[in-house]
């Protein structure tokens, strides 16, 4: 249950145009845009353009204290692939709290309200990037699998020499770049954001450090595959913010582009695309790691679980999950902590409750309890992770986040045979 008795605290839906300066100030306080003197912001056209692009297609709640915007929870419409079904996604693209309302629950309340609205609008899942583990757990989010971040010397890419020159694209091409991203190879877990303006904003944001887009087009002039990267100093490090491709041949061409830049840029970082094992495309990666250890541009691999998701529409999410092999039916008790951040009259109160769950080629969930089924209980955080394939039933039991009989656990382990999900489109 939400406490709204705090004098001067109000919540409202953001206006992307009228609230741009207020949200810009929050971006400044988060350190996301330049200009640390307030008086500079009226003339900070680049930062304002970034925030305008991020707000353009968004749905957001603001927390205001004494009439001043002190927090924002911003979302965009998107999609997420659950097994072989494309579902509507609430992509949480910005959550910022100013200095005044830190540790006051205001940001959690704003986010809970926007999630409730998106659930009522039909979104099946919500996903976000985290600043650290723990904060979003209180709203029912659970951590996705690790993303693997590679730092490589582009000379180490074990791919053929580039065979044809790529085309260079600019910010003026952001709509074509967006369409290319939406046509990228998809698989379980892959996400998209339904906003051309977000792509524009990302490109402006990273262009400050020598951003560039290279790729190829088809006969109709549409961009088929491309990469967006930037670099800091003359010789790097560089960052590849996205690789967009539809098949392995196109991926190889993009890696050939990266390798062709090795005369100038000595190091790039990139996230491993979910379709491959990037180490297979590197020549003697362990040798490079040892030779560069402690240097300015080390070759290394790091792993982070920096995104989280949760179920919003439990019936839609379960119905879209198709398993091969045997079926299993059980009772499940789900605890959803988001309820305490919602108003008493909120039409959506989370997904907590007792259900009968059927898992198989056709899955379903309905409120109630079956007297002849075994039962499990767990949080919506961990139910969301398990349903999406981010964690296995055996891991949840071992970590004492779920209790199940030995027989039921064996069945659940055989049923949950989903590929490891990765969003690919990060936000």
Return the pLDDT at 42.
46
Domain boundaries defined on the chain: 9-143, 148-304, 313-415
Return the pLDDT at 312.
98
Tokens of 175: 């709509």
How is domain 9-143 classified at the architecture level of CATH? 3-Layer(aba) Sandwich (3.40)
What gap in Å lies between CA 71 and CA 220, rounded to an integer? Answer: 45
Q: What is the CA radius of gyration of the chain?
A: 23
Q: Which residues of the chain have pLDDT under 70?
A: 1-6, 34-43, 208
Residue of 202, 208, 196, 203 lying closest to 169 (CA atoms): 203
Return the pLDDT at 6.
61
Return the pLDDT at 33.
78
Residue of 91, 30, 23, 89 lying closest to 62 (CA atoms): 23
Return the pLDDT at 5.
45
Q: What is the CATH number of domain 313-415?
A: 3.30.1050.10
Tens digits of residue pLDDT in 25-69: 999 999 887 654 444 444 578 889 999 999 999 999 999 999 999
Tokens of 367: 């409120």
| pTM, full prediction | 0.93
Residue of 331, 347, 328 lying closest to 339 (CA atoms): 347
How is domain 148-304 classified at the architecture level of CATH? 3-Layer(aba) Sandwich (3.40)
Return the pLDDT at 34.
62
The reply to whether domains 9-143 and 148-304 share a CATH topology is yes
């Amino acid at each position: 249950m939400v406490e709204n008795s705090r004098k001067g605290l109000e919540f409202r839906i953001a206006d992307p145009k009228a609230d741009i300066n207020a949200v810009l100030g929050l971006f400044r306080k988060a350190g996301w845009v330049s200009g640390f003197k307030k008086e500079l912001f009226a003339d900070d056209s680049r930062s304002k353009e970034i925030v305008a692009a991020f707000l353009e297609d968004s749905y957001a709640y603001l927390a205001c204290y004494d009439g001043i915007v002190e927090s924002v929870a911003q979302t965009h419409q998107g999609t997420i692939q659950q097994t072989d079904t494309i579902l509507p996604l609430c992509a949480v693209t910005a959550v910022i709290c100013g200095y005044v309302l830190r540790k006051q629950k205001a940001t959690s309340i704003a986010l809970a309200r926007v999630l409730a609205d998106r659930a009522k609008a039909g979104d099946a899942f919500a996903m976000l990037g985290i600043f650290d583990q723990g904060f979003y757990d209180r709203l029912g989010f659970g951590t996705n699998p690790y993303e693997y971040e590679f730092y490589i010397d582009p000379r180490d890419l074990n791919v053929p020499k580039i065979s044809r020159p790529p085309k260079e694209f600019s910010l003026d091409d952001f709509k074509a770049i967006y369409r290319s991203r939406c046509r990228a190879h998809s698989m379980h877990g892959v996400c998209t954001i339904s906003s051309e303006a977000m792509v524009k904003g990302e490109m402006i944001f990273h262009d400050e450090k020598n951003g560039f887009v290279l790729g190829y087009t088809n006969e109709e002039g549409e961009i088929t595959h491309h990469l967006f990267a930037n670099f800091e100093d003359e010789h790097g490090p560089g960052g590849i913010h996205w690789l967009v491709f539809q098949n392995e041949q196109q991926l190889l061409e993009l890696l050939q582009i990266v390798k062709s830049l090795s005369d100038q840029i000595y190091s790039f970082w990139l996230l491993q695309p979910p379709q491959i094992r990037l180490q297979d495309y590197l020549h003697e990666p362990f040798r490079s790691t040892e030779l560069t250890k402690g240097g300015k541009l080390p070759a290394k691999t790091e792993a982070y679980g920096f995104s989280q998701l949760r179920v919003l529409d439990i019936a839609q999410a379960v119905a879209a999950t198709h398993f091969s092999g045997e079926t299993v039916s059980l009772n499940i008790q789900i605890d959803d902590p988001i309820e305490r951040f919602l108003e008493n009259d909120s039409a959506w109160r989370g997904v907590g409750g007792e259900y009968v769950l059927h898992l198989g080629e056709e899955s379903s969930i309905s409120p109630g309890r079956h007297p002849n089924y075994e039962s499990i209980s767990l949080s919506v955080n961990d139910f969301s992770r398990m349903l999406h394939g981010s964690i296995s039933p055996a891991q949840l039991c071992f970590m004492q986040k779920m209790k199940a009989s030995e027989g039921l656990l064996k069945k659940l382990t055989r049923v949950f045979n989903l590929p490891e999900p990765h969003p690919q489109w990060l936000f």
